[in-house]
Amino acid sequence: MIVRRLVRLLDSRLRLSAPVRRAMAKVFPDHWTFMFGEIALYSFVALVLTGTFLALFFEPSTTDRVYHGSYQPLHGKTISAAYASTVELSFDVRAGLLVRQAHHWAALVFIGAILLHLARIFFTGAFRKPREINWLVGVTMLTLALLNGFTGYSMPDDLLSGTGLRIAYSVVESIPLLGGWLAFLLFGGEFPADQTVPRMFFAHVFLVPAALAGLITLHMLILVRQKHSQFPAPGRNEHNVVGSRLWPSYTLRTLALFAAVLAVTFALGGLFQINPVWIYGPYDPARATSPAQPDWYVAWEEGALRLFPAADFRIFGYLVPSPFFPGVVLGALTFLALYAWPFLEARVTGERTAHQLLDRPRDHPARLGVGVAALLFYSVLVGAAADDVFARLLRVPVTSLVWTFRFLALGLPLAGGMLAYYLARALRAGSAPEFAELTRADLHRGAKDDRVPGDGDGPPAARIEVWQEFGLVWRWRYVEPTGGAKDLELTSNIDYPSEQEAAKAARAAYPGVPIGPGRPPPGLELPAAPATRRLGGPLARVFRLAAWLVVLRAVRRSRSR
């Protein structure tokens, strides 16, 4: 009763009932791949909750202090305040180690869910018009997530993260002309500087999370405004969304997913050790950990630095160090390609119409090949970031592994991308529903497929057919390709006196769907006239014209008399 009165009180002043009803009636698709975005959202919530707890105990300072905590190997040693507070949080704060490790696992899940979400959008063409803006928002969120993960990983001032931070400083410093100034601005002076950890703390806790929260809000608002995309299926078209309503079915499902994300995050934090900084020890510029590697989401940059050969040179007298290309140019080109892809594909294919239905990856072989090649390339770089670990486990020289990864980085993406491209062409040209069921004939047809790859030549779009039955009434049907042996057909059960009336009714039922002539079902065609009857029509018109001429001549004679 009290809740009802409170709701009525708020509605009488804010008039929220109408928009709330519309929001509750919003339909969400049921496909499991749409959960990646929600997992990323709930991981961000877990990051905010655990990060708030950690910020209460972390001291963002490199000032020296003597450690007197529970971890005996460090007892009585002089270390930085940032490192000391991290160790104390792990051993002396109740539930501190659990929350700290859950925070680290949540960051890994957050970035992984964003990558999977972007991969789903890329391979299904969900970035096309009118969703280019949301694609740009998502890529920006990925960039900020990587930045926030790296700053949080580097704040404890331990030997492993300090080594990575020193590499990042060198990469920024390698930028010609501007490198020294940018390094001073970002790190607060020559590394290691006293301002580095406080600046990272401010960016990690305040700036980047606020930007991410704003982008998530913008992403959701655009999603509500444009509606969800969906996979092709019977009953789905470019103008509807088939799935579950927000209330109550989808709300219960997404709350269960939220609880599952929190449960998995804290289970990982409690059962699986991650980033044990007390083992690494405090950062010392004269030392480095080996074997060691960063978190996987920045390992591709580390791998590129390890594989790129030493190739310093000068341009107009200015030195261009070798870390500039793998550390700066590769990352810049990667995100520039991500930002530009929707517009490049639209320009190449000429496809500029709005899309509500998603593509199957096989329907765009060129896009699939490029995506597979890119994933393989960055996977090789991630593996190369752990070449020292592999060398220790396999007992082989690191230099041999470096050359192996160099050949893999050049050959594996090309081979994998071409294989995915030709398999997609074979699926598109043949009748096999899956890769495992491809036959030699399908592969042969795929090799001879003369359609331009990547031109948006997937399954034909939905259409409306209008025809005349028995030469008397007009009917129409809605036809939607399903990708199977038989298309979805919905035929009107009303007769119309003219073709225009039938087309008008079809446009009202399915606005925007193209309308064209069609054939009536078997048995309802107008019977073909025999040859004599087909000639009778023109002969009858000739006889009628002659009769009128005779009558007209008789009338004129009568008047002349």
Alpha-carbon distance 377 to 383, whole Å? 10
Which residue ranges in the chain fall short of pLDDT 70? 1, 430-432, 448-461, 470-471, 482-487, 512, 519, 522-561
- DSSP-based three-state secondary structure for 489: strand
Would residue 354 count as lying in a domain? no
The residue to which tokens 């000639």 are assigned: 535
Are 427 and 463 within one domain?
A: no
Closest Cα to residue 424, out of 407, 449, 396? 449
Looking at residue 311, what is its pLDDT? 82
The pTM is what?
0.78
- DSSP-based three-state secondary structure for 538: helix
User: CA angle, corner 204, sides to 203 and 205, nearest 5?
Assistant: 95
Are 475 and 401 within one domain?
A: no
Is there a contact between 501 and 513 (Cβ–Cβ < 8 Å)?
no
Alpha-carbon distance 36 to 47, whole Å? 16
pLDDT in tens, 58-110: 999 999 999 998 899 998 899 999 999 999 999 999 999 999 999 999 999 99
Are 265 and 123 within one domain?
A: yes
Would residue 502 count as lying in a domain? yes
Is there a contact between 412 and 376 (Cβ–Cβ < 8 Å)?
yes
Looking at residue 528, what is its pLDDT? 44
Looking at residue 455, what is its pLDDT? 45
DSSP state of 155: T
Angle between helices 96-124 and 132-154 (to 10 degrees): 150
Q: What separation, in Å, do the N-terminal and C-terminal C-alpha atoms of the chain show?
A: 104
Alpha-carbon distance 108 to 47, whole Å? 10
Are 141 and 262 within one domain?
A: yes
Are 139 and 275 within one domain?
A: yes
Would residue 300 count as lying in a domain? no
Would residue 293 count as lying in a domain? no
Asked if the peptide bond before residue 198 counts as cis, ω within 30 degrees of 0, the response is no
Residue 272: CB partners within 8 Å, gap ≥ 6?
Answer: 101, 105
Q: Which domain holds residue 392?
A: 362-448
Are 137 and 194 within one domain?
A: yes
Would residue 178 count as lying in a domain? no
Q: Dihedral through CA 392, CA 396, CA 399, CA 405, nearest 10? A: -80
Is there a contact between 416 and 373 (Cβ–Cβ < 8 Å)?
yes
Are 398 and 465 within one domain?
A: no
In 10 A of CB 206, how many CB atoms? 11
Are 372 and 437 within one domain?
A: yes
Domain count, the chain: 4
Q: Dihedral through CA 102, CA 141, CA 358, CA 235, nearest 10? A: 70
